[in-house]
């Protein structure tokens, strides 16, 4: 097995020589490996299949990407009014609810033939790609030429390229309209999200269609007519990076060398113990050459010495090798030197590996507690680290993603302006502290608060019969204890 086979990373990524019903159908191709999109797609800055391979060789990256995706979308969402003036339309709310939760909506996590999924599964797999590869793809499913969306499908980001402009010359990096997926010589094209609901400058309907087999674009001053095989649309979201124009890059791209180093450390340890923890030796031959039979005799001698002490305590000294009975040709002299002295620190590299893990986690902005590195942390500072991570990393990411879905899916495709989605957040609040603050506020303003105002602060529904009734004063300790107890029944997940 070569070094490249072990690491699963091509040198093109690292620059290191040895590093490492039709509505329910999806247009995406079945195979995992992606061919070169020569002439059809723009080449990404790094091979996305290599970026995906980092998940296979580094547990810190895999865990961090999975945890971020789960915390961003994995706990579900609510349909909530968008921040706008006036009363939100109940008709629009029903339209959004039917799309996200209707029995007729299709959710696919793979190509044709794979089981039907759920909204959370589709979104979570896409968000994992966003963090692991640098962009994510959600396929908007349609039935033929219909403009009513039938659902969403997850498309592996590493299999998708931005389509190259048909008039681009030579190696010109000029984007066309839509996206292309090429797998083992098979090509599938996608339109851009919202194409079927496109309007002209006067607000008149001006739909755009892409032929799923040829990539030709119809409508909006392009080809007249309609395609034989209208392609589904793709919601393509990038993890923006200043060095990329059409694609994104994962946050941990700056730690690729650390990722490879951690893998090489593990591989060194594995090789070392596969050879019974025997250090490296140099056999210097002078006065002639060794034939293959003599080389075999040397290997047999080493194996014989190894078996004398057994696998649990295999110790071979250079002097022992030199004194062992070995008969080479009379003119040949063999000098044996031990090249390495192995101590505990050499075998484990524990400090070095911990530093690498910290560097990788830092670029991913994930607290060490979420990737299994507790070290000197306790329950209190672990919760504080997770709260900070949730407030400064997860919640902004949720807001950006929800905003994109609102703009593209709700407004452009569903025609809904009044309603958006709000992803659930876990780990952001300090419930005990909040309970103490609420108790203090209630006591300080007890004479001016009504019962229903107090119930609202406690997260309880109002009681119509008590509307306008003033809140009865109770002791601080009783109220605080009740609030704290209520908070502790809902610990961080």
- If you average pLDDT over residues 122-145, what whole number do you get? 95
User: How sure is the predictor about 489, in pLDDT bands with cuts at 50, 70 and 90?
Assistant: low
Whether residue 204 has pLDDT greater than 80: yes
Whether residue 238 has pLDDT greater than 50: yes
Q: Which of 28-32, 229-233, 433-437 has the highest mean pLDDT?
A: 229-233
CA nearest 80: which of 406, 394, 457, 404?
406
Query: Do residues 325 and 339 touch, judged by C-beta distance below 8 A?
Result: no
Whether residue 36 has pLDDT greater than 70: no
pLDDT in tens, 265-305: 666 655 555 554 555 555 666 666 666 777 777 777 666 65
Whether residue 362 has pLDDT greater than 70: yes
- If you average pLDDT over residues 367-380, what whole number do you get? 66
Q: Whole-structure pTM over 0.75, yes or no?
A: no
């Amino acid at each position: 097995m070569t070094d490249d086979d072990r690491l699963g990373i091509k040198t093109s990524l690292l620059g290191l020589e040895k590093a490492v019903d039709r509505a329910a159908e999806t247009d995406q191709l079945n195979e995992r490996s992606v061919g070169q999109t020569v002439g059809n797609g723009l080449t990404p800055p790094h091979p996305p299949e290599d970026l995906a391979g980092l998940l296979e060789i580094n547990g810190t990256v895999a865990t961090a990407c999975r945890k971020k995706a789960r915390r961003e979308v994995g706990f579900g969402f609510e349909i909530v009014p968008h921040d706008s003036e006036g009363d939100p339309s109940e008709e629009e709310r029903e339209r959004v609810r039917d799309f996200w939760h209707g029995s007729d909506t299709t959710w696919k996590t793979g190509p044709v033939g794979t089981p039907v999924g759920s909204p959370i599964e589709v979104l979570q797999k896409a968000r994992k790609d966003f963090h692991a590869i640098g962009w994510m793809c959600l396929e908007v499913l349609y039935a033929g030429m219909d403009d009513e969306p039938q659902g969403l499908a997850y498309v592996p980001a590493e299999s998708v390229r931005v389509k190259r402009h048909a008039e681009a010359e030579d190696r010109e990096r000029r984007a066309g309209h839509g996206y292309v997926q090429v797998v083992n010589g098979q090509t599938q094209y996608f339109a851009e999200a919202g194409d079927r609901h496109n309007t002209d400058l006067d607000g008149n309907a001006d739909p755009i269609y892409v032929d799923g087999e040829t990539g030709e674009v119809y409508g909006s001053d392009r080809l007249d007519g309609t395609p034989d095989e209208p392609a589904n649309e793709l919601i393509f979201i990038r993890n923006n990076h200043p060095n990329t124009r059409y694609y994104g890059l994962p946050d941990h791209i700056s730690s690729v060398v650390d990722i490879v180093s951690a893998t090489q450390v593990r591989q060194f340890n594995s090789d070392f113990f596969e050879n019974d923890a025997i250090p490296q030796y140099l056999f210097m031959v002078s006065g002639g050459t060794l034939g293959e039979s003599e080389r075999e005799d040397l290997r047999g001698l080493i194996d014989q010495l190894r078996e004398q002490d057994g696998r649990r305590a295999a110790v071979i000294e250079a002097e022992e090798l030199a004194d062992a009975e070995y008969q080479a040709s009379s003119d040949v002299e063999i000098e044996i030197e031990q090249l390495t002295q192995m101590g505990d620190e050499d075998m484990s590299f524990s400090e070095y590996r911990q530093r690498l893990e910290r560097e990788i986690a830092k670029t991913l902005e994930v607290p060490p507690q979420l990737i299994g590195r507790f070290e000197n942390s306790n329950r209190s500072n672990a919760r504080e680290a997770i709260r900070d991570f949730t407030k400064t990393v997860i919640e902004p990411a949720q807001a950006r993603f929800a905003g994109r879905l609102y703009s593209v899916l709700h407004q452009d495709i569903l025609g809904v302006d009044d309603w958006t989605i709000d992803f659930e957040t876990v780990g952001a609040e300090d419930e005990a502290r909040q309970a103490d603050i609420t108790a203090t506020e209630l006591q300080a303003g007890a004479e001016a608060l009504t019962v229903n105002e107090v119930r609202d602060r406690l997260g309880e529904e109002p009681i119509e019969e008590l509307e306008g009734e003033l809140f009865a004063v109770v002791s601080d300790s009783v109220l605080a204890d009740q609030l704290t107890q209520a908070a502790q029944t809902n610990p961080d997940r």
